[in-house]
A and B are shown apart, each in its own frame.
Chain A
Amino acid sequence: SDFADVNIDPEHINEGNVPYEMVFSNAQHQALGSDWDVWRNGCILSGQWMQHLTSVDWWWNYGLYAYSDGYSGALWDGIYAGDRGAVRDVTTVLDLWKDKEGYSIDYNMARVMRVYTMHRLTDLYGDVPYSEAGRPKEFSYPKYDKQQDIYMDMLKELDEAQANLGSGVAKMGDHDVYFRGNAAQWKKFANSLMLRLAMRLSKVDPSTAQTWVKKAVANGLITSNSENVKLDHPGGVTTNDSAEPYAKIFAHEDKEFFLSEKFVNELKNKQDPRLALIATVCEDPSISIQKSGYQFGNTNPEVQQGLPGGYNISKNSAWYIGKKIVNFDPQNYQSKYSVPNRYTYSDPTSPTFIVTYAQTQLLLAEAAVRGWVSGDAKTYYENGVRAAMEQFAQFPNATKLYQQYVTPEAINTYLTANPFDGTLEQINTQYWINCFCDEYESFSNWRRSGYPALQSTYDPANPYGLSATKGSIPRRFAYPSTESQVNTKNYDAAVSGLSDGDTFTSRIWWDVK
């Protein structure tokens, strides 16, 4: 009746008139994170833990594994709920399209998308709400599913989805911001993600891992960089969420992040041609991209140097960096150390890499070493490294640098100088380099593989009281404390399964010792 129609807000979109394909676009966008979680979980926490990044000023203590509820829980809150809410949005369209005539491709894309979104959550926190998550009508207080169950379901979902994707174009067409609705590409995305998830089980359940690795390979993986799953950000600006999130932080919001000594040295020592596209030294890196005078700096590999983690710039502090680096100048250090390169990882218009050909080849290299797949581990490895280097061609504003440094000769020289040695350490160190600015994936693969070999930044001889791990590198994020207050019963059940409680040091299901 007219009377009931009064209660429809005429100025906002509602259930009656929302174009759901645009809700799917939001899930695709926000599943990759935003500066909300990327700044907290990605840069301050896991980026420092994985020794890609270092802060010696504001966030230095998180390099010594201090705990912050707000930082640890940011990804959870941002991905599940709020304005961003990728889990909620993808679940809404998934449930809607499930049995909808003509939406088969769209539905199966949504299944892949939900798996991608959820695998990051469960990898970082452990048991998480999965089956009941993002369904607020039925579940205000969703239960936490066991990570093992989540993994089995995710693998099943990917397999079913890839089987049903086949070919053709989704109804949503261009609203698919990854592949413009191309079903064949989504099939390869599903299988490459399946390979990643399968390899995740290498420690906890090698035989299941092997089964699914084989299935993924048989189903068909990404075959080149041109099939990389990524989200481009043409026209991205730092004043809203349209920018690449890591780039938004580095270029605008927070100028406290330097490249770590470990990362720069890894590249520098092996004369990696990527260094010039990963690092830069700016006279004043604190000038925001929104101001005039924003600096692209000096990308010459020779001048790059990283900062060790776990130190600060307060002269009176027990962790004063001057104790480690002689002649450290706390006033002018910003102009001496490398920050993320302004043509690539700090460029707001750069792509976010989701699943890359390089990662897939490196995982296959490991699978080959383990004897799980046929083919030559060395070939996979070299494909992976080559792809990882050539991937820099996909940064829109780095063409000149790319052409200067990442020449075929340079790549060959690198591969010759650093030949495949058949170790998982070598393969996974390459994986770690490729995952720069996908810190959640870096963190997961490090925990699974144990590589690269990272030295804790914590010095037992100089104990730091606020370290939440007593010095060890964390093994997970802690749940947001609101869960313990609001979803108490389910939270308690999940925490009871954690060896060390809801802390950074408990290990999740697949991360067995």
Chain B
Amino acid sequence: TTYAQTATLSISAKNETLESVLKKIEKQTEFLFFYNVADVNKDLIVNIDKQNSDIKEVLEEVKSQTGLKYSIKDRHIVLTNSRNHDNTYNRIQSVPQSGHLISGVVKDKSGEPIIGANILIKGTTNGVITDLDGNFSMEVPADAVLQISYMGYINQEVATKGQKQINVILIEDTQKLDEVVVTALGIKRQSRSLGYSTTLVGGEDFTMARDPNLGNALSGKIAGVSVSGNATGSGGSSRVIIRGNASLTGNNMPLYVVDGVPFDNSNLGSAGQWGGMDMGDGLNNINADDIESIQVLKGAAASALYGYRGGNGAVLITTKSGKKGKPTTIEFNNNLTFNTIYDYRDYQKVFGQGTYGSRPTDAISAKASEMTSWGEALDGGNAVNFLGDTYKYSYVDNWDSFYRTGINNASSVSISGSADKIAYRFGISNVYEQSILPNSGSNQQGINMNTTYDLLSNLQLAVNANYVFEKFNGRSNLSDGNGNTNASLIHRGNSFDIRWLERGSATSNWGTSESGSELLGGTNVYFNNPYWLQYRKTNDMNKNRLTGSMNLKWDITNWLYVQGAVQRDGYNLDFKQVQPVGAAADPSGWMTEYSKSYSEINLNYLVGFNKEFNDWSVAATFGGNRQRNITKQYIPSDGGRPFIIDGLWSVNNLGDKRAAKNYTEYQVNSIYGTADFGWKNQVFLNLTGRNDWFSTLSPANNHYFYPSATLSWVFSDAFETPDWFTFGKVRASYASASNGTAAYQNLLLYKLRDYTINGQHTITQNNNNQYPNPDLKPVRISEQEVGLNVAFFQNRLSFDMAYYRKNTKDDIAVVSTSSASGYTSKVMNVGEIQNQGFEFMVDVVPVKSSNFMWNTTLNFAYNDSEVKYLGGVAQLQIDGASSRSGNVSVQNVVGSSYGELIGHKYKRDDKGNIVFKNGIAQADDKLSSLGNGVYKLTGGWNNSFKYKDFSLAFLLDFKVGAKLFSGTNYSLFSEGLHKNTLVGRTSAEPNANIVGVGVMDDGNGNYVPNTVGVDAQTYYQGITSNNIAEEFVYNASFLKLRELSIGYEFPKTLLGKIKAVKGLNVSLVGRNLWTIVKHTDNIDPESAYNNSNGQGLELNGYPATRSVGFNVNVKF
């Protein structure tokens, strides 16, 4: 049975127009009418009175009165004028002799027929519309050019050239200059009226060559959005920065909003100078298959309505939902990719493990040289390993032996559809990931629900929920070598076979010595056995996350509505890490286990008003929000150790067990409003204001106002423009925003000791050495923006440009104070920084024909910043941003860009020669800037091709203008693994004397050419031991082939036999396929070990991976 057979309707219309009758039917049912206004006169008068009738009865009545023909397919009804021939209108007066009949079919990209598309013979008013199967036929002159158009799609012209049958694929108009876009707080506005820059990315851009972290998937797609997908491993976090870093030490990440619900994206743990693991962020929990679109609000003007949360821009994620009138669809998608290591290593393979030019000849010398490759030339002769066994002295690539191919398999099934008063979509997903590290991986299950209910004809309830269960095990530490599986593979001697460290099997005590302790290949207890780390030392994380909302909207009249919502985002996380008894660095073992819960509830309302008065349109909203945010954590204090007995890895087995609890709560109350004025749909003025009250500030100064004003002018409507000039708009805006304050920053805390002194407990005034500031204010960010949109040739060529200047004042920074004050720091409003930049996007459709289509989009953005003021000090270190080796830190320096890398250069004389002392290169006495860790120019070049049923898309991603201090290369130098350390070493004299090129002090304070030679190992290790950082600072610019997909859409004709299947697409997908340009030795330029503010530091991250696989999409 079809919908038409079951649906009933009641309609009574007296002397009403056809248009009004059709609207009444559409309102009561799920039917949609298609007709061509040139063919069907919608002002025909109809009288009709049918109660509980089926659609056919009603349409027969219409037909009898108007003579219009109808045809029904599912929920689509096409009306045609029966007086005309078929569905051809404006019947061709005289068909030229050379004319002929042409027929064809119009479909969209996914192979769905487009019903009601207009086919017009160019230069005439003659045309037809497509029928229910997208088919059309008409008589045309010999050299006719057909213009095919449909709302929301790019117009297409096809030269008939005598063909009798043509197939047209219409491409959705991504420009959509007149589309309705979702802006801050979910308020819908016409794109043309916006006075600021926003970019929409469709969900399909995330499903093919996908990245498990949605943040990384944004890379290269949007001008002005800079993504650092770092070496944090699978399940790691991403850093998404829009228009530069506006806060010196605070949060610089945008606000994420999923279906209207603010979505926490905090990094749940990251590596620092002394190591640690990346625990991922919130964007891991969004399934690409559920995304309808992502709208990025870049500037403060766009996100001003988010008030204190809008200072870094906003990313609005809309998930897929059921649509009224669409048939029930079941969609299955499977994305299977294989991740192999993109090996950037280029080690020297000439000299093997050893020291000072000697190979290990006994177990003791083997242990002493575990991490050095300063041995003899690898000749395949005999050497002895740490076990005392003799082996063949040759190069070993341990990565092959240890790492495995990673697998990502994301499956999802969704069902969407609609019934009488309900539209729905339910999706379930399963993401399985096998890490490249053995015994490590993740599993994530998600349930997504998106429903709307028409409680009354003007009262709509929307209920959305997204539940995710995530499980991750076997994460490796990053940065520092301790507990870092990757480090234990990167730095091992050149001829050391990692398999010597196995002993046992995967099921029984890998990496464990006979005595039950960690089997080490050397003497450094912090340079671990990777088998021990992956099989004995364990870590597990479980996370349950529920994000959901209920939204009630009441359309009081057609110009006034009220809505209210309850929204909640929350997760519970359990983490357990066990270092068993026997660990080299901790023989008695330790464990940590904690549970953390996070929740944020927002209650809000909005009253909206829309009305037009002659040339003027006025829209206004007024609303309010209550936000309550709570984080709780229970954790054994001071880490749990030691284990009382061996083998029970539980907190119940800890000798010292005390629990600690941390709790953070804050609230923000807000009211906001907007006023939008339009004149002739051509000039638009939009004003917004928001006032926030913060619980985190002293009551005397706890509320702040954030205004914005934008102006835009569609000048192409004001003047007579030539045909090829399709659209032009200029825009300007000013806005003020913030990024809030953290809880308890104005509260002085004390700490209770858990031991007694002479029988008494004591309490110390302690605030993590940070003195609170009762007069704290939120940071103030203001931004000015001007922009231009132009489009030519029916949008086949369009440009979008923006220039902005963003000023941050009163930035909250932790400022060093004299320890004699009682604290070494205090929280202050001191920072001033300016970001300015330019964004550019060009979208071109160079080729567009019935069979072939090419769409290319280039975007790039340039951002530079200047630190203006730091409260009187010249520089301020970004919290925790110090290299493991201690010789480079990331600082904000007055007068420089955000995030300078500060360290020692080579000491040089006036002429620039390196100064040597005793044959060793010397470090400059003073610290200097080695470059900046933030990319200045970022962008991407996106291409999509379509040939018949085949499609090809690729994305080139580039970033330019940042420096990276490579801690890995620093160590590789000292270990003799870096290729540059080959200079001076020969097979005959593996530790030959090297006389450094430069100068030395002649003893009287004069520089003379250096004549002192030292052996190779001492020479190169002198550079690292003198902490010369300059040698290891690299240009981090790169160009990568980020995404590639090749797809085939099975045509309907092929699928026709399987009635149930509506669509089938099979694609070959790849990600991070080719690094076309890079300048970093041995590592991926995108290798920072965390996603914190201090960018530009790299050490011992996960190897980069390249993923290749398949995507299969089936629609039923």
Q: Chain A interface (Cβ within 8 Å of chain B)?
A: 1, 3-4, 6-15, 18-19, 22-23, 25-26, 28-30, 76-77, 80-85, 87-89, 91-92, 128-129, 132-137, 139-142, 174-175, 177, 231-235, 237, 239-242, 480, 482-483, 485-487, 490
Contact status A83-B766, CB under 8 Å: yes
- Interface 9-mer from B103-111, B813-821, B1038-1046: B813-821
Give min CB distance, A89 to chain B, whole Å: 6
A85 vs B816: C-alpha distance in the bound complex, in angstroms? 16
CB contact between B750 and one of A4, A23, A80 (< 8 Å): that residue: A23
Beta-carbon contact of B759 and A136 below 8 Å = no
Q: Which residues of A contact B760 (CB under 8 A)?
A: 22, 25, 174-175, 177
Stretch at the interface among B360-368, B691-699, B948-956: B691-699
- Indicate whether A25 sits within 8 Å of B757 (C-beta atoms), given known contacts A83-B764, A482-B824: yes
Of the A-B pairs whose beta carbons lie under 8 Å apart in the complex, a sample of 17, sorted by A's number, is A7-B696, A7-B746, A13-B763, A14-B750, A15-B747, A23-B762, A76-B819, A81-B822, A83-B751, A133-B821, A135-B822, A239-B656, A240-B754, A480-B819, A482-B818, A486-B818, A490-B818
Choose among A1, A4, A81 the residue with the greatest number of B CB atoms under 10 Å from its CB.
A81
B765 within 8 A of A: yes
**Chain A nearest CB: distance from B759 CB in Å?**
7
Q: Which residue of A lies closest to B763 (CB)?
A: A22
Q: Which residues of A contact B697 (CB under 8 A)?
A: 7
Which parts of B731-779 form the interface with A (CB within 8 Å)?
Answer: 743-744, 746-766, 769, 771
In the complex, besides A4-B699, A136-B826, A140-B817, 15 extra interface pairs with C-beta distance below 8 angstroms are: A11-B663, A14-B748, A83-B766, A87-B822, A133-B822, A134-B822, A136-B771, A141-B818, A141-B821, A233-B757, A240-B755, A241-B757, A480-B819, A486-B816, A490-B818
Check B823 for interface membership: any CB of A closer than 8 A. Answer: yes
Give the residues in chain A near B756, CB-CB below 8 Å. 235, 242
| B667 touches A (CB below 8 Å) | yes
- Smallest CB gap from B771: residue in A: A136
Most buried by A among B664, B693, B755, B818: B818
Chain B nearest Cβ from A234, distance in angstroms: 7
* Chain B residues near A490 (CB-CB < 8 A): 818
Is B821 within 8 A of A11, CB to CB? Answer: no
Smallest CB–CB gap between A85 and chain B, Å? Answer: 6
* Nearest-Cβ distance from residue A51 to partner chain B, whole angstroms: 30
Residues of B contacting A26 in the complex (Cβ-Cβ under 8 angstroms)? 753, 762-764
Chain A residue with Cβ nearest B750? A13
* Closest-CB distance, B990 to chain A (whole angstroms): 24
| B663:A10 contact, CB within 8 angstroms | yes
B744–A9 CB distance below 8 A: yes
B-side contacts of A13, CB under 8 Å: 749-752, 763
Q: Are A3 and B699 in contact (CB under 8 A)?
A: yes
B64 at the interface (CB under 8 A from A): no
Q: Are A140 and B751 in contact (CB under 8 A)?
A: no
Q: Which residues of B contact A241 (CB under 8 A)?
A: 753, 755, 757
Given A4-B699, A10-B663, A136 and B817 contact (CB-CB distance below 8 Å): yes
Is B852 in contact with chain A by the CB < 8 A criterion? no
Task: Please indicate the chain B residues that have their CB under 8 angstroms from the CB of A76 in the complex.
Answer: 819-820
Min CB distance A361 to B, Å, is: 25
Contacting pair B820 A6 (CB below 8 A): no
Are A139 and B821 in contact (CB-based, < 8 A)?
A: yes
Quick check: is B586 within 8 A (CB to CB) of the other chain?
A: no
B695 touches A81 (CB 8 A): no
Q: Let me know if A242 and B757 touch, CB within 8 A.
A: yes
* Interfacial chain A residues near B754, Cβ < 8 Å: 240
- Chain A residues with CB under 8 Å of B822's CB are 80-81, 85, 87-88, 91, 133-136
B759 and A485: CB pair below 8 A?
no
Contact B762 A129 (CB under 8 A): no
Contact of A3 (CB < 8 Å), options: B693, B750, B824: B693
Which of B663, B751, B765 is within 8 Å of A88, CB to CB? Answer: B765
With known contacts A13-B749, A177-B758, A23–B820 Cβ distance under 8 A = no
The answer to whether B764 and A84 touch across the interface, beta carbons within 8 angstroms, is yes
A483 CB contacts on chain B under 8 angstroms: 818-820
A81 touches B752 (CB 8 A): no
B15 within 8 A of partner (CB): no
Q: How far is the CA of A212 from the CA of B259 in the complex (A)?
A: 78
A4 to B774, CA, bound (A): 12
Residues of B within 8 A of A480 (CB): 819
- A81's partner among B663, B699, B820 (CB-CB below 8 A) is B820
Give B residues with C-beta under 8 Å from A. Answer: 656, 661-667, 669, 693, 695-699, 702, 743-744, 746-766, 769, 771, 816-824, 826
A14 and B656 CA atoms in complex are apart in Å by 27
| Chain A residues whose CB sits within 8 angstroms of the CB of B699 once the complex forms | 1, 3-4
Residues in chain B near residue A3, CB distance under 8 A: 667, 669, 693, 695, 699
Considering the complex, give the chain B residue whose CB is closest to the CB of A11.
B663
Q: Please tell me if the beta carbons of A242 and B755 are within 8 angstroms of each other in the complex.
A: yes
* Closest A-B pairs by Cβ, 8 of them: A88-B822, A129-B820, A487-B818, A6-B695, A81-B819, A26-B762, A13-B750, A22-B763
Given A11-B662, A485-B816; A85-B758 close (CB under 8 Å): no
Q: How far is the CA of A482 from the CA of B820 in the complex (A)?
A: 11
A81 touches B757 (CB 8 A): no
- The answer, among A12, A88, A128, A175, for a CB contact under 8 Å with B749, is A12
Report which of A7, A129, A175, A485 forms a contact with B747, defined as CB distance below 8 A.
A7
Interfacial chain A residues near B744, Cβ < 8 Å: 7-9
* In the bound complex, CA of A137 to CA of B775 (Å): 11
In the complex, A177→B762 CA distance in Å? 10
CB neighbours of B765 from chain A (8 A): 23, 85, 88-89, 92
On chain A, the residues within 8 Å of B823 by CB distance are 81, 88, 136
Chain A residue nearest to B816 in the complex (CB)? A486
- State in angstroms the CA–CA spacing of A80 and B769 once bound together: 11
Nearest B residue (CB) for A128: B820
Contacts A11-B661, A136-B826, A486-B816 given; does A81 touch B763 at CB 8 Å:
no
Chain A: minimal CB distance from B934 (Å)? 25
Once the chains bind, are B666 and A7 in contact (CB under 8 Å)? Answer: yes
CB contacts (< 8 Å) of B764 on chain A: these are 23, 26, 30, 83-85, 89
- What is the minimal beta-carbon distance from B825 to any residue of chain A, in angstroms? 9
B758–A22 CB distance below 8 A: no
> Taking CB as reference atom, which chain A residue is nearest B820?
A129
Shortest Cβ distance from A174 into B: residue: B760
If A14-B749, A26-B764 touch, whether A7 touches B821 (CB-CB below 8 Å) is no
A139 to B139 alpha-carbon distance, docked (Å)? 91
A87 / chain B contacts, CB cutoff of 8 Å? 820, 822
Expressed in whole angstroms, the Cα–Cα distance for A49 and B822 within the complex equals 29
CA distance A175 to B756 in the complex (A): 11
- With a cutoff of 8 Å between Cβ atoms, the chain B residues found around residue A240 in the complex are 753-755
Taking a contact as CB atoms under 8 Å apart, the answer to whether B748 and A15 are in contact is: yes
**Residues in A whose Cβ lies below 8 Å from that of B751:** 12-13, 83
Q: What residues of A have a CB within 8 angstroms of the CB of B743 in the complex?
A: 6-7, 9
Which of B662, B669, B702, B758 lies in contact with A231, CB distance below 8 A?
Answer: B758
Expressed in whole angstroms, the Cα–Cα distance for A88 and B819 within the complex equals 10
Residues of chain A within 8 A of B698, CB atoms compared: 4
Residue ID in chain B nearest A130 by CB atoms: B820
Which of B656, B757, B771, B820 is within 8 Å of A29, CB to CB? B757
Given contacts A174-B760, A175-B760, contact A129 B695 (CB under 8 A): no
How far is the CB of B151 from the nearest CB of chain A, in Å?
A: 50
CA distance A233 to B757 in the complex (A): 6
Chain B residues whose C-beta falls within 8 Å of the C-beta of A29 in the assembled complex:
757, 762
B669 partner residues in chain A, CB cutoff 8 A? 3
List, in ascending order, chain B residues with CB within 8 A of A12's CB: 749-751
Assembly CA distance A6 to B742 (angstroms): 12
Cα distance A75–B764 in the bound complex, in angstroms: 17
Residues of A within 8 A of B663 (CB): 9-11
Note all chain A residues with C-beta closer than 8 A to B750.
Answer: 12-15, 18, 23
